[in-house]
Amino acid sequence: MHFSSEDPTQLTSYFEYLEDVFQQASSTCGGVKQRVFCIADKAIALNTVGENLDELLFKAFAHLPTNISSKETLNLFVWDAKEADLTFKFPTPQILGNEKLEKITEHYFENYCVLFSERGVVFYAYDYLKNTAYVCIKDSNLLPNYFLASPLFRILKIWAKLNGLSVLHAGCVANENNAVLFVGKGGKGKSTTSLQCLLDGMYYLGDDYVLLDTSQPIPVIYTLFCSGKLHLNHITNFPLFNEHSIYRPNTEAYDKPLLYLNELFKEKIAYKRPLKAIVATQLTGNEFTSYKPMSAFEALKALAPSTLFQLNLGDQGDFAKMGNLTRTTPCFTLELGTNFQGIASVVNELLHTFD
């Protein structure tokens, strides 16, 4: 990651150029489609240009409320470069203050950031002061499932940090009153546990990323995306999910089939819940699922590394916040059984101890 202590003055004019390009794309493609919704009680305005972009990007946000009273709005302007058929100029290494542009994908400045991702398919430029981001997608047909599962995540993780929220790499489900957070590195069963609990009637807040608000005495988890993902060789264990999954083969070997869960479980996608337990999922090979207490230190080891690695924004403040979270929230190990149908009852049993 490349950091600069000062904003290059040329970046200001570059953002003006991006605004012009978006307007040109809008004229070429027949106008702008706008969706306004609420994440963690804050307004997001998604403005898209391109025949397919609105549907592709909004599906993961379709569960979020639209009754918004937020004072500030994050404005996202997104266009499909191939469909708009416009020549687009990326910022030069001189503008970004670094001559090795091709080797650096994230450039952070005092009031801006410029990001390249998905193997050059997506370009982001985010103006913190104006609360505005421009996103150029080279060709929407090239977008991998993991991008569609958490669209515009690279902007949203920075926006969350600027608004005092923390993005956690974790799954989360809830009952009517309280939430439990599933933590651990990839392949430890977070998605399986979250999705099985949803199948068995629990409320779902996410299987990969959720938002944490620690401004209240009891921390609150907010949903971010209504998507879910399972490995291609694992989703066959879930006939309903397998039937409704979307798989767009691409060059990303680790991409997974995608689920838009709001389409299947509209009433079971929760907006927010107070967090009452942190659970590290573990695969055991035993038939039945069980749980037992876990130390705060072990829970932090399960939560922090994957979160800091995934976000690539971690600093001592983020680590300290997670450390305080695990010290002040009851922590458990969930030893997952091979009988998936027994998982939700054990998680429910654990949550009911906090009602």
Domains of the chain, first to last: 2-162 (no CATH), 166-352 (3.40.50)
State residue 70's pLDDT score.
72
Cα–Cα distance for residue pair 40/43, rounded to 1 Å? 8
State residue 142's pLDDT score.
87
Cα–Cα distance for residue pair 309/277, rounded to 1 Å? 23
pLDDT at 167 over 90: yes
For range 133-137, the mean pLDDT = 96
The rounded Cα 262 to chain-centroid distance in angstroms is 16
State residue 323's pLDDT score.
94
Cα–Cα distance for residue pair 117/156, rounded to 1 Å? 14
State residue 3's pLDDT score.
40
State residue 5's pLDDT score.
41
Q: Work out the pLDDT band at 261, boundaries 50, 70, 90.
A: very high
β-pair partners for 173 = 180, 204
State residue 254's pLDDT score.
56
Q: Which residue has the tokens 């469909």?
A: 83
For range 292-316, the mean pLDDT = 86
For range 302-320, the mean pLDDT = 81
Q: Work out the pLDDT band at 76, boundaries 50, 70, 90.
A: very high
State residue 60's pLDDT score.
96
pLDDT tens for 170-212 read 999 999 999 999 999 877 889 899 999 999 999 999 999 999 9
C-alpha distance from residue 129 to each of 61, 96, 142, 162, 339 (Å)? 24, 18, 31, 10, 51
β-pair partners for 160 = none
For range 221-244, the mean pLDDT = 84
pLDDT tens for 2-14 read 444 444 567 788 8
Listed residue (301, 259, 263) closest to 280, CA to CA: 301
Q: What are the counts of helices (DSSP H) followed by strands (DSSP E) for the chain?
A: 11, 19
pLDDT tens for 83-95 read 998 888 888 777 7
| Average pLDDT over the chain, rounded to an integer | 87
pLDDT at 248 over 50: yes
pTM exceeding the 0.85 threshold for the entire prediction? yes
State residue 101's pLDDT score.
54
Burial 195-218 (b: 16+ CB within 10 A, else e): bbbbbbebbbbbbbbbbbbbeeee
State residue 1's pLDDT score.
38
